[in-house]
Amino acid sequence: MCRDSVLKILMASQALIQEDRDPVADHQPGCCDVFIDLLRACGLICYVACPPVPSVITRKLAFHPPEKGMTYRIALKSDPEKRFKNIKGCSRDEPVQLVVRNISNGADYIHSEKEVEVFSVTTSNKNELVCIKCTPDSYSSNPAVADQVVLFCQPNSSDLGGFLQPNSMNFVTYANVFETDFYAFDYSGYGFSSGTQGEKNMYADIRAVYDKIRETRPDKKIVIMGYSIGTTAAVDLASSNPEGLAGVVLIAPFTSGLRLFSSKPDKPDTCWADSFTSFDKINRIDTRVLICHGDLDEVIPLAHGMALYEKLKNPVPPLIVHGANHHTILSGKYIQVFTRIAR
C-alpha cells in the first residue's frame, strides 16, 4: 500500500543511519552526523521525487514485488532445470510448470497438473504475464455457481508462489472452497511476468487475463475478486462493465492513493495527482459488489471500505470481519469471509 511503502522506505533509511553509528558509544550527534543524515534524507527525496512524474513516483511508492525466485520459479516440464528470466523466454508450445519454493523449509514443491495449470497472456502493453488456473476436486452442483469462474487480483508484496504454498490456505484451497475454477496471475514486473510495475500496466494486465478467460471459456461468467491493491485493478475493469462480468468482491479496498494519507477517505474532490482512484470509478459498476473489510485493519482503515460501499450502484450488505486485520482477513482464520463470498 502507498502509506505502508512510505513507512518501509523511511524505516529502511533510519536503519542505515543507525548502522553507520557507533553501536557502543552513546554520544550526541555532531555536525558530521547531522550532515550525513541530511544527505540521506535528500537522497530519499530525490529517489522518490525524481523524475517528478506522478506515475513514476506512484510506482516507486506503491509497488514492491517479492524478490524474483524467492517463492517460485518457472520450468519446462521437459527440462525442469532450465532457468528463465521471465515467461517471455518460454515457448508457448512447451508445457510449463511452477516450481514453488516452500518458504518454511526451502524445499521445492510442484502442484499436480490437475490442480494447477500454467499459461501466459500478452497484454496491450506487450508484457507477458504468468497466469494459472486452479481446478477444484469437484464442481458445485448449484447451476449458478457452475456457470462462473473466479479471477483473483493479488495484494502488493506478493506473487503466485506466495499464494501456492503447500500446507496452507492457497489458491488450490480457494478453488475447492468455491467449487469452481480459480484464476490468478502475476502483475507486470512481478514474479516471472515481464515488464515493469505500474498502475497503468496493472489495469492492462487484468483486462488481458479477463479477455483470455472469455476467449477460452465463453460459456462462463466471471467473478472478479481483488485484495488490497488488487481491488483497484478489479474496480478499474469492472467500472467498464465488460461482457460476462457476474460480480465483484473487494477485500480490504481503499478509496485512492492520496486518500490513504487523509483522515477523510470520502472527501468528494480528487487531486489531479492522485492514483488508484477507485472512489471515482466504483459508482459506474452495474453488477453486484461485495465489500469485505477487517475492523482492525491497520494498513487500510475500515472507513475506506465503507466510503466505497456508500457509492455502490448495486451493493450487497458489506461483511465487516471483527478481529481481522489487513493480513489475516483472507488467511483462513475467518471462515465467514469464504462462506459469505461463496453464498
For residue 242, the one-letter residue type is P
What DSSP state is assigned to residue 5? H
Asked if 249 contacts 226 with a C-beta cutoff of 8 angstroms, the reply is yes
| Helix (H/G/I), strand (E/B), else coil: 310 | coil
What DSSP state is assigned to residue 98? E
The pairing of beta strand 182-185 with beta strand 221-227? unpaired
228, 256, 275, 278: which one is catalytic? Answer: 228
Residue 228 annotated among the catalytic residues of the structure: yes
Residue 327 annotated among the catalytic residues of the structure: no
- Percentages of the chain per state (helix, strand, coil), in multiples of 5: 35, 20, 45
CA distance 152 to 57: 26
What DSSP state is assigned to residue 109? E
111, 293, 304, 326: which one is catalytic? Answer: 326
Q: By CB neighbour count within 10 A (0-12 exposed, 13-18 middle, 19+ buried), where does 11 fall?
A: exposed
Residues recognised as catalytic? 228, 297, 326
